[in-house]
Amino acid sequence: MFRFSLKRSLAMGALALVAALGTQSVAYAEGKAVCYNCGIEWADWGSQLKAIKASLDISMPPDNKNSGQAIAALIAEKGKPVADVVYLGGIASDAAKNAGVLTAYQPKDWDKIPADLKDPDGQWFTVHSGALGLFVNKEALGSAPVPQSWADLLKPEYKGMVGYLDPTSAAVGQLGVMAVNLALGGSYENLDPAIQFFKKLSANDPIVPKQTSYARVVSGEIPILLDYDFNAYRAQYTDKAPAQFVIPKEGTVVMPYVIGLVKNGPNAENGKKILDFVLSPDSQRMWGNAFLRPVFAEHMTAESKAKFLPDSEYARAKPIDLQKLAKAQAMIIERYKNEVN
């Protein structure tokens, strides 16, 4: 059987990016910074980028890489880093640290961050978290009812309607595999339930994009996407789409999203200012207003919290074990690639 590991995946990605980058040059100046995986559509980074410009006078262009692509780019650019900051799904935090592309920085209020939501060496910390579930465009379902469980997605009435990000590269795709796996009786060591589920789902013609697909759900192109609560709430309350978030009845998981300072980044001081900013009360309140649970939950307003599903629904959403998930990541990629893809 072909062996596929995270290390090999990142190495291959790095080589490809080196070739693609060639002699590309980027101009750096005061008031500039680069953040990988800070796309406008994802987690309302668009508002944060505007706030960073307004508060810090630092311009930071949006970047649509996913976590795997961001780490591969950082490895490719080790000799001459382009990015100053990188934002990652928690599943990728240790991979980035182990690749040697991060450097330690403890922002203001570091001590207030729970120990299991930050790297003990200071190389990354949690900004906010999201619960994985079903982001549904109700109108795009036609006559089909809103699915209420993972099992529902296998029904013929949802043929061609279900999407999930590619687990071979995207953190949310890998988390989706583990969320299904744990909900259906698997463990961090035993992926059989998830592999069987995704094999069955493949017969239902799923849509498997590699990039963030928020707009495709809002437009109805993807009626059901395995995605986070914050994207579904944004569609429902901000973009006024016919959207609904469902926490599957079998259960799901909560994933922290983390950020870190890139080693030898060209604008390191600006990068540090950005890391301080994303933990500030203003920024944390903005994350909450964008339907993310900030790491400092006390900064959430009552108005934003009221737009979430009731706590009784969230009782089915359990915190992910980042250490165990990190150990399982290579197995998720390998088994999905060899047995499902």
Same CATH topology for 6-16+30-129+256-308 and 130-254+312-339: the answer is yes
Q: In whole numbers, what is the pLDDT of the chain averaged over residues?
A: 90
The confidence score (pLDDT) of residue 207 equals 97
3-state helix, strand, coil in the chain (%, to 5): 45, 15, 40
- Domain range annotation of the chain: 6-16+30-129+256-308, 130-254+312-339
How high is the pLDDT of residue 271? Answer: 98
pLDDT of residue 92: 87
pLDDT at 102: 98
Q: What is the per-residue pLDDT across 273-323, written as a single tens digit (0 to 9) for each?
A: 999 999 999 999 999 998 999 999 899 999 999 999 999 999 999 999 988
The whole-angstrom separation of Cα 59 and Cα 52 is 7
Q: Which residue carries 């090999």 as its tokens? A: 8
89-118 pLDDT, tens digit each: 898 898 899 999 999 999 999 999 999 899
Q: What pLDDT shows up at residue 5?
A: 40
Q: Which residue has the tokens 């259960």?
A: 251
Say which amino acid occupies 239: D
Out of 91-95, 210-214, 226-230, the most confident range is 226-230
pLDDT confidence of residue 180 = 98
Range 130-254+312-339 has CATH code 1.10.340.70: no
The pLDDT tens digits for 19-72 are 333 333 333 446 999 999 999 978 889 999 999 999 999 999 999 998 889 999
Tell which wins on pLDDT, 252 or 326: 252
**Pick among 3.30.70.100, 3.40.710.10, 3.40.50.1240, 3.40.190.10: CATH of 6-16+30-129+256-308:** 3.40.190.10
Q: Which residue has the higher pLDDT, 9 or 252?
A: 252
What values do phi and psi take at 17, rounded to 5?
-70, -35
For residue 59, what is the DSSP state? B
Q: Locate 298 and state its tokens.
A: 């006390």
How many CB atoms are closer than 10 A to CB 181? 24
Place of tokens 């008031």: 31
Q: Which pTM was predicted?
A: 0.77
pLDDT, residue 25, reads: 33
Q: Is the pLDDT of residue 76 over 80?
A: yes
Q: What is the pLDDT of residue 190?
A: 98
> What pLDDT score was predicted for residue 8?
44
Coil, helix or strand at residue 60: coil
Contact status, residue 113 vs residue 295, Cβ threshold 8 Å: yes
